[in-house]
Amino acid sequence: MVVDIQHIEIKTVERLNNISEKYFPEGSYPLVLAMLKPHDVSIRLKRKRSTKYGDFTSNSKRAKIPVITVNNDLNPYSFLITLLHELAHFLVWKEGHHYAKPHGRTWKNHFTELMQTMMNENVFPESLLPFIIRHIENPSATSCSDTKLFRELSKFDTNQMGVFVDDIKDGELFQTKDGQIFSRDKKIRKRILCTRLKKRKQYLFSPIYRVLPMIEKIESGCVNITGQLSLSI
């Protein structure tokens, strides 16, 4: 697929709301513009959201056309995959499949086709390809749901603190972003059972939830935490 960006209408560029090419993997920006050219949909950046990476809204009081949002803190490959994920939702909506399952066969077909276009143009690095190929065989609701793909994508993140719960060993301690201290108990299917030390209450964690590992276990009522913190329990 060869795209001459000079022949893409200004209106198409405006749909990206001046989003810089820095958010996209090298070589993918013209391809995204070409994908957007036939459609009336606006792409907007959002600050980091802990509950989602992006979304699609077909009816907004502030916008005359459908809107796709993507978090502005994602690495370029996660950004692109999220954008294509939401663009596939738009295509399902545009075709009138309003009662189709959110991530059913129609959506999967669109998402796979969009991803295949990027793969054909060698947008993704070789290290990601096996995981992407596996992912698009049966795409899940989010890239986060595919833990193997998510872990590979996370290697391109910058300024990420901590490690995944999946990297903590059974019996070791860790701290969550809100300062709570847990011990990892064991893996149960796709989740990891952990105990909050303060109230001895158990929780199930996603294996790709980021936490701060402890330097050592409990000693004399204190726990030393990675990054020089010392908290009383």
Q: With a cut of 90, say whether residue 180 has pLDDT above it.
A: yes
Same domain, 37 and 123: yes
| Domain closes at, from 154, 182, 203 | 154
Q: What are the pLDDT digits (tens) for 3-58?
A: 454 445 556 667 787 788 999 999 999 999 999 989 989 999 999 887 889 999 98
Same domain, 80 and 26: yes
Same domain, 35 and 141: yes
pLDDT at residue number 229: 35
Same domain, 61 and 128: yes
Same domain, 207 and 111: no
Domain range holding 202? 163-232
Structurally, the chain folds into a number of domains equal to 2
Taking the C-alpha atoms of 122, 43, 106 and 119 in order, what is their torsion angle to the nearest 10 degrees?
0
pLDDT at residue number 188: 92
Q: State pTM to two decimals.
A: 0.77
Instruction: With cut-offs at 50, 70 and 90, classify the pLDDT of residue 219.
Output: very low
The CA distance from 81 to 79, in Å, is 6
Same domain, 123 and 10: yes
